[in-house]
Structure 1
Amino acid sequence: MQIKPEKIELSCPEAEIYQRLLRLDNSDIVELGCGRAEITRDIASSGSGRRVFAFEVDEAAHQANLQITDLPNVTFDLAGAESIPLADASVDVVLMFKSLHHVPRELMKPAMHEIHRVLKPGGQLYVSEPIFAGDFNEILRLFHDEQQVREAAFNTLHQAVETGLFELVEETFFNSPMRFDDFADFDNKVINATHSEHRLDEALYQQVKARFAAHQGEDGAHFEMPIRVDLLRRPA
């Protein structure tokens, strides 16, 4: 199911959501699509007894992550969700933070089966995905319309539950605060993100810049991204 953004009353950093839903201490944890390893760092450096396997498909991000030396309990590797280089039933938790819709559509279903394979019986899959709505989305869709891939991601999760591959534990909807210093910050982090190739002509670039400027204040540009979290469990 979806939910209208105006119906979402909870606004908080995502850390508050996964810390409430998951017990990560003394666990083997997989993060698929770790990006710049910002959430990886929070998970690995909080609590105790956490061993994290952080996978990324973007070569540039992966090479940057390999330079990290202060997270001894994290193993970084280059791999996609459809091919996880770990043994069967070897991990307690799999995390996907806004990464399922980046999996090619033809690989989303195989990815669900691969996640099922590496999870222990009773192990949990945490998936957060942006809802196709909100001011930030209206800027993003000018040059990168994700409506179809986000719908495909939601449908993939729904099918995984309907077929019995996973059990639905809980759904949570919240608004995730986002902030950019200025348009240059947005340009660097979003338009020039290494995981995507965005080609904007000058007219479109100026249109995006003008739309962004409407949200710029003295302390930066603030947005709230509506997010859906599905907490699933591999049947015991």
Structure 2
Amino acid sequence: MIHIDFLSSIYPLSAAKVVDIGAGDGTYARELARAGAQVTAIEIDEVKLEQLQANSHPNMQAMLGRAEAIPLADGSQDLACMFFSLHHVPEEVQEAALREITRVVKPGGRLHIVEPFPYGSMFDVVRMIEEETKVRRRSHALMRDLAQRDGFQLLEHKDYVLTRVFDDFDALLTKIVYSDQKRSNALPDVREEMQQVFDLVGETTPEGRAFHQPCAAYHFALNAAG
């Protein structure tokens, strides 16, 4: 997992208390747990929470919660992570979410956010079912702003490409559409065009059709200014 590999290279995950905010189906929470972290996976969607709980790890617990209302005690976490989830947090509560993160992470702790850019072959497919150009741009702008604020010290910033491989179009739908009710409801109107884009931009590999998503990781020390 490229996200966890990079994070592990700059931060010692073993025995760290980590909250994964917007954990989705738990893919990255489980990788954090396998790396030795004690993980609390927070998810707003009850269906995805059930998936999290059904596919857990001994080092992991899953809880219902929101980025702007994290059900954890003050200063209880060493590290907060958001993998491709910040742009899903409504703009009007993003500042509240940042305040919550600084509340639950201990002074001197870390914040690690990875956000996708609004381009790449994976984005070309995703935008057929949900247009995210504006929210993705906004999340990167917020990260640039955050790096200038008191209390946040940007320690690492790295651009890289996440590659996802799917056996076929239905496998992609299972991963990015069927687990989201809003996207599922929109699918009948765009399915044909979406499959055309899948066939056009997907890279044929021995493992299946590969799609590339450029993204950026931002790693902050919190309360760095005292």
Does TM-score exceed 0.5, indicating one fold?
yes
> Which of 130, 146, 151 matches 2:132?
146
The equivalent residue for 1:124 is 110
Q: TM-score scaled by structure 1?
A: 0.86
**Which secondary structure does the structure 2 equivalent of 1:141 belong to?**
helix
**Which secondary structure does the structure 2 equivalent of 1:76 belong to?**
strand
Does the alignment pair 1:224 with 2:212? yes
Q: Quote the Cα distance in structure 1 between the aligned partners of 2:49 and 2:62.
A: 7
CA contact (8 A) 1:31 1:53 kept: yes
CA contact (8 A) 1:98 1:130 kept: yes
CA contact (8 A) 1:108 1:156 kept: no
Q: Quote the Cα distance in structure 2 between the aligned partners of 1:68 and 1:184.
A: 22
Structure 2 residue runs of 5 or longer lacking an equivalent are none
> Which of 37, 43, 50 matches 2:26?
37
Q: Which piece of structure 1 moves more, 173-182 or 189-198? A: 189-198
**Which secondary structure does the structure 1 equivalent of 2:161 belong to?**
strand
Does the alignment pair 1:59 with 2:46? yes
**Which secondary structure does the structure 2 equivalent of 1:127 belong to?**
strand
Q: Quote the Cα distance in structure 1 between the aligned partners of 2:163 and 2:124.
A: 16
Structure 1 residue runs of 5 or longer lacking an equivalent are 1-11
Q: Quote the Cα distance in structure 2 between the aligned partners of 1:68 and 1:216.
A: 30
CA contact (8 A) 2:79 2:110 kept: yes
The equivalent residue for 1:3 is none
User: Between the two proteins, what is the percent identity of the paired residues?
Assistant: 29
Q: Quote the Cα distance in structure 1 between the aligned partners of 2:181 and 2:89.
A: 11
**Which secondary structure does the structure 2 equivalent of 1:129 belong to?**
strand
Does the alignment pair 1:235 with 2:223? yes
Q: How far is the alpha carbon of 1:79 from its aligned partner?
A: 0.4
Deviations 1:38-80 (A, max 9, x none): 2211211223xx32111001110101222346x2321210001
Q: TM-score scaled by structure 2?
A: 0.90
CA contact (8 A) 2:130 2:183 kept: no
* Amino acid aligned to 1:43: L
Q: Quote the Cα distance in structure 1 between the aligned partners of 2:170 and 2:188.
A: 17
